[in-house]
Amino acid sequence: MRNTPRIVAVTTALAAVTAPLLALSSPAMAEQPAKTVQSAQNLPLSWLSLQGLTENAHLQRIKQLLGTGYVPSALSVTNAANPEYTSVWVKDATRKVNVLQDLSVTDLPKRITEQQALGFQPTMITGTGTGTGAIFAAVFEKTTRKLQSKTNLTKEALVTVNAQLGAAGYQISSLDVYGTAEKPLYTAVWAAGAVTGTLQVTAGQTVEQRGRELLARAKQGLGPVAMAVEPGKLYTTVWGKVANPTGLKEYLQLSSVTYKLKSLELKGLGYHPIITNVEDNVYAGIWSKN
């Protein structure tokens, strides 16, 4: 584990960004002078994605995007020894958000407590690695919503906690898996009143099993509301009622290159990502036109 982990904490309340901004015009963004801030705000993309960025590169983009009214709708970290970050951002200047990355297993609970004291609740937590070498990142939002987060859960504990919180009116809104293929560990966030009923969870599925599960659930009007790639190229999925389960485009077990190509292809067809996750350089995503 690093001796001096760097922690990023930046907020949508930033008054200005002094570093050169990147023109928000395409995924292959080119540097522009700071005077382009106003035009970028007037003609923003409704969403954009970042893929496989180093800690420093992701930090710079976090500052830029939060400073121009974007908030993350997905965040995933992989490769604990040399962390890489993938995230999706949507335009919403009304929300106040902090993003913290490069957190150790001991840092994470401390930062959650600190953020909660400031009125910020964890809405997304992502992790990679195992033991004392695990690395986490999290999104915190200033909100009055009732949220609960849990980390370091075994598969059995996840099922138990999900049932308990589901009975109390909470549903999983964010999920990630870290650890090892032999001992996967789960981190999740539950929100009160997000949907009706306890959401069902399947874990440890191969890509073939996951495909069959998707077809079976769709016949019941169910679809994935959260999903994570596990170590060992397995999948954990949270299932719930979705408006149009057969209208979703899902792709699993993608490489970095094929994920980028598929994302560009679907963007051209009018789809936007609703779930994005990566672990051990395996990417998975779900896109929707809604």
DSSP secondary structure code for residue 22 in this structure: B
pLDDT tens, position by position, 35-83? 323 333 333 578 999 999 999 999 999 999 999 999 999 999 999 999 9
Where does residue 87 rank: exposed (0-12), middle (13-18), buried (19+ CB within 10 A)? buried
Helix extents (H) in 236-275:
256-268
pLDDT at 245: 65
Pick the range with the lowest mean pLDDT from 120-134, 191-205, 246-260, 269-283. Answer: 191-205
Strand partners, 50: 87
pLDDT band for position 244 (cuts 50, 70, 90): confident
> How far is residue 283's CA from residue 258's CA, in Å, rounded to a whole number?
9
Containing H/E element for 167? helix 155-167
Q: Is the dihedral of CA 37, 40, 45, 48 positive or negative?
A: negative
pLDDT at res. 44 = 53
pTM of the model: 0.83
Where in 15-111 does DSSP place strands (E)?
A: 47-53, 70-78, 84-91, 97-103
Query: What pLDDT is stored for residue 97 in this prediction?
Result: 96
pLDDT for 196 = 57
Cβ neighbors of 73 (< 8 A, separation 6 or more) are 47, 88, 89, 90, 273, 274
